[in-house]
Amino acid sequence: MSIEATMLERCENKCELCGAETALKPFAVAPHTQITVDHAIMLCDTCSGQIENPETMDVNHWRCLNDSMWSQVAPVQVMAWRQLKRLSSEGWAQDLVDMMYLEEEVAKWAELGLDENVEKPRDVNGVELKKGDDVTVIKDLPIKGSSQVIKQGTVIRGISVSADDPKHVQGKANGQAMYVIAEYCRKK
C-alpha cells in the first residue's frame, strides 16, 4: 500500500485537523520535508492554505482543534498544538493548550517548528547569535553619519538582539554603544 493510501486509511478519508472530507492531500510537518506516515498528516485545502499563509487565518475555523488535539497520531498532535499556540491570544485556544498533553519527544518536535518562520540574527558563519554573546567584527565598518570606522577585529561584548530588526545586534565596543549588522560579526 502506498504512503498516501495508508494515511487516507488512518484518517478515514477526513482532514486530520478539521474533519473535512474534500480535497485531501499529505502535508509534511516541519522540520520534516518528506511525506511519510510518521511525519505527515492529511489536510484539506482550507487547513493547509491557512497553515501555509497565516495572514489568511480564519480563527473560527480552528475551533475544530478541540477534537483533533486528542488524536493519538503524533504529527496531528504537533500541528494542533502549533495552531493553538499561534492562536493563544484567543482565550479558548489558550485553554485548549493548557489542557493538552504531549509526550516529551512530541513536545520537542512541536516547539521546534513553532518559531521556524522567525528570523534570527546569525553571524558570518550562520551561527545564531543570542543575548549576552561576544562577537568580533570581521571587516572595517563605517559608522553611519560619521567619519569614524569600527575596525576589523573589534570585540563587541555582551550583545543584545534587536526585536525590531533581527539582522542587527547592539553592544558596546571601546566604551561606545553601537548597532552592527549581525552578518559582519563572528561569534567568539
3-state DSSP helix/strand/coil % of the chain, to nearest 5:
35, 20, 45
DSSP state of 164: S
The fold for domain 135-187 equals: SH3 type barrels. (2.30.30)
**DSSP, residue by residue, 56-95:** G--GGGGGGHHHHTT-S-HHHHHHHHHHHHHTTTSHHHHH
- pLDDT tens-digit readout, 105-162: 999 998 886 655 556 788 888 888 888 899 999 999 888 888 888 899 999 988 988 6
pLDDT of the residue at 75: 95
Of residues 164 and 94, the one with the higher pLDDT is: 94
What residues does each domain of the chain span? 3-113, 135-187
The answer, as to whether pTM is greater than 0.85, is no
In the three-class reduction of DSSP (H, G, I as helix; E, B as strand; rest coil), residue 160 is classed as strand
- pLDDT tens-digit readout, 42-89: 999 999 999 888 888 899 999 999 999 999 999 999 999 999 988 888
In the three-class reduction of DSSP (H, G, I as helix; E, B as strand; rest coil), residue 45 is classed as helix
pLDDT of the residue at 160: 87
* Residue 20: burial class (beta carbons within 10 Å; 0-12, 13-18, 19+): middle
Alpha carbon 138 to chain centroid distance?
29
Strands (E) located in the chain: 25-28, 40-43, 135-137, 141-142, 149-150, 155-161, 168-173, 176-181, 185-187
φ/ψ of residue 68, rounded to 5:
-70, -20
Query: What angle do helix axes 74-86 and 104-114 make, rounded to 10 degrees?
Result: 50
Of residues 70 and 175, the one with the higher pLDDT is: 70
